[in-house]
């Protein structure tokens, strides 16, 4: 069965800390991996990764994919309280258009 597993499920840190969120997957016909941030409403897109070893970066957030070991990480440096959210990892397969989501990592950043 195709699946996406995220760890940890929840994480509490203090402002200024650096965090690493993990996402591993087992799917047939992998096509791309996406990271989303979900606060109170809709998931908002962060990154899409298709190639191994190429880091994508946006401000304090960065992500990289390892297609050999079947995982991705999302790094957030110098965390701020506004980073508090659920971070969702999703994988798209070549055979179909929908995303398979992990259960998310709930990040809480304390002042």
Partner 1 sequence: DTAVSQTPKYLVTQMGNDKSIKCEQNLGHDTMYWYKQDSKKFLKIMFSYNNKELIINETVPNRFSPKSPDKAHLNLHINSLELGDSAVYFCASSQDVTSVLQETQYFGPGTRLLVL
Q: Which residues bind partner 1 (CB under 8 A)?
A: 31-32, 34, 36, 38, 41-45, 48, 50, 86, 88, 90, 92, 96-101, 103-104, 106
Beta carbon of residue 111, minimum distance to partner 1 (angstroms, whole number): 24
E strand segments, the chain: 3-7, 10-14, 19-26, 30-38, 43-49, 56-58, 61-66, 71-76, 85-93, 99-101, 105-110
Tallying the residues shown for the chain, one arrives at 111
Report the residue number, 4 or 76, with the smaller CB distance to partner 1.
4
Beta carbon of residue 25, minimum distance to partner 1 (angstroms, whole number): 15
CA distance 17 to 30: 32
Beta carbon of residue 27, minimum distance to partner 1 (angstroms, whole number): 13
Residue appearing with tokens 């965090």: 19
Report the residue number, 44 or 77, with the smaller CB distance to partner 1.
44
What is the chain's Cα-based Rg?
Answer: 13
Report the residue number, 25 or 36, with the smaller CB distance to partner 1.
36
């Amino acid at each position: 069965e195709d699946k996406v597993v995220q760890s940890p499920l929840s994480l509490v840190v203090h402002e200024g800390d650096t965090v690493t969120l993990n996402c591993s997957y087992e799917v047939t016909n992998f096509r791309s991996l996406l990271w989303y941030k979900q606060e109170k409403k809709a998931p908002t897109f962060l990154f899409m990764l298709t190639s191994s070893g190429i880091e994508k970066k946006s401000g304090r957030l960065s992500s990289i994919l390892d297609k050999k070991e079947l995982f991705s990480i999302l790094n957030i440096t110098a965390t701020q309280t506004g980073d508090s959210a659920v971070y969702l990892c999703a994988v798209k397969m070549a055979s179909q258009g929908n995303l398979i989501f992990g259960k998310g990592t709930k990040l809480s950043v304390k002042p």
